């Protein structure tokens, strides 16, 4: 069978992607490319469920621990780096296995990117100041007036996306929706749409239980120590993409509100907020996935989920050697 240049393994958070990717790597000659906007950052290990040192040693991984949390990493950066890495991995007669849950990255690779305005720090600061004074729902109302198409798909508290949509309008004078061309395929993509395997639950309650278990495990492993270490640097804030990651943002805000030592009731509040935010993330991830009709869907809550993943990989790569 001819070499498939790359395979995608997507799914919402806590759907079992990491375990499945390692099982694939034990059977076929692959190298893993992380499709995760949080795993790129050094020092953010527990809250991102980053692979352990032992797991990283089992198979080559790429796009993990490549940036300091002060830096930013865009979908365009991901497409550029991944396209280069797929070529290098194929040159070693191996298949690139793209694994993660940052659906914007998958979509950028599969569909391509629209030529949108660059970020403007001054404009963002102005938007953040208005949000601090008025609240994000008020800015969502503002977005509704200038870009109703984008506002209709964003919840009133989705601060990161509301901020970006308003920024694009203020920088360019055009709504964000006018830059989104509705393309369905990028002919230059190294990933074919039919080579995307998607782990999706039949029962949302199953996923919610795993999300709660994962957050409890993070807290037990020292997540708050990790966040305090990042805060102690003195040069990070929730204005940065790294610190807006789910879990980190909620922990940071509670430490701002209550001080550097949280009482048990405040830790319980963090758990509630973190689990709720992670559920919302999973909901958005599933919405993204449903916009990719050619994906191969596997029920991640089925008893034979891993066997089904391996069977799908075998149809693409042939039997393990």
**pLDDT, mean of each 10-residue run, the chain (321 residues):** 82 96 97 98 97 94 97 92 96 97 92 77 90 93 93 86 91 82 68 94 97 97 97 93 94 95 96 96 94 93 97 94 74
- Quote the pTM value: 0.85
13: nearest Cα among 54, 43, 62, 49: 49
- Is residue 56 within 8 A of residue 50, CB to CB? The reply is no
SS3 2: coil
The span from the CA of 92 to the CA of 208, in Å, is 40
Interatomic CA distance for residues 25 and 29, integer angstroms: 6
Query: What is the pLDDT at residue 183?
Result: 55
271: left (phi over 0), alpha (psi -120 to 50) or beta: alpha
Give the whole-angstrom CA distance, residue 306 versus residue 313: 11
Return d(Cα 66, Cα 86) in angstroms, integer: 17
Which sign, positive or negative, has the C-alpha torsion 228, 230, 235, 237? negative
Q: Does residue 299 contact residue 203 with C-beta atoms inside 8 Å?
A: no
In 3-state terms, what secondary structure has residue 296? strand
Confidence (pLDDT) at 182 = 58
Among the listed residues 9, 2, 3, 28, the one whose alpha carbon sits nearest the alpha carbon of residue 309: 9
């Amino acid at each position: 069978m001819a070499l498939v240049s790359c395979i995608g393994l997507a799914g919402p958070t806590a759907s079992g992607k990491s375990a499945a990717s390692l099982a694939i790597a034990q059977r076929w000659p692959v190298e893993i490319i992380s499709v995760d906007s949080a795993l790129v950052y050094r020092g953010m290990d527990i809250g991102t469920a980053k692979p352990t040192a032992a797991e990283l040693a089992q198979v080559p991984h790429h796009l993990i621990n490549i940036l300091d949390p002060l830096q930013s990493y865009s979908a365009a950066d991901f497409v550029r780096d991944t396209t280069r890495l797929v070529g290098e991995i194929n040159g070693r007669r191996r298949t690139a296995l793209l694994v993660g849950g940052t659906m914007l990255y998958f979509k950028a690779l599969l569909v391509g990117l629209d030529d949108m305005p660059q970020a403007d720090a001054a404009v963002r600061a102005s938007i953040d100041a208005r949000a601090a004074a008025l609240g994000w729902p008020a800015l969502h109302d503002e977005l509704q007036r200038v870009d109703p198409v984008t506002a209709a798909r964003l919840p009133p508290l989705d601060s990161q996306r509301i901020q970006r949509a308003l920024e694009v309008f203020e920088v360019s004078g055009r709504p964000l929706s006018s830059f989104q061309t509705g393309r369905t395929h990028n002919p230059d993509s190294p990933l074919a749409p039919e080579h995307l395997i998607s782990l999706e639950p039949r029962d949302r309650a199953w996923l919610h239980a795993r999300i709660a278990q994962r957050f409890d495990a993070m807290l037990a492993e020292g997540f708050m120590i990790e966040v305090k270490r990042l805060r102690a640097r003195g040069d990070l804030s929730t204005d940065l993409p790294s610190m807006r990651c789910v879990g980190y943002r909620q922990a940071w805000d509670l430490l701002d509100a209550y001080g550097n030592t949280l009482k048990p009731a405040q830790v319980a509040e963090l758990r509630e907020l973190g689990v709720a935010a992670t559920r919302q993330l999973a909901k958005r991830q599933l919405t993204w996935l449903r916009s990719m009709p050619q994906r191969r869907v596997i029920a991640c809550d089925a008893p034979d989920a891993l066997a089904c993943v391996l069977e799908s990989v075998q149809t693409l790569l042939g039997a393990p050697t």
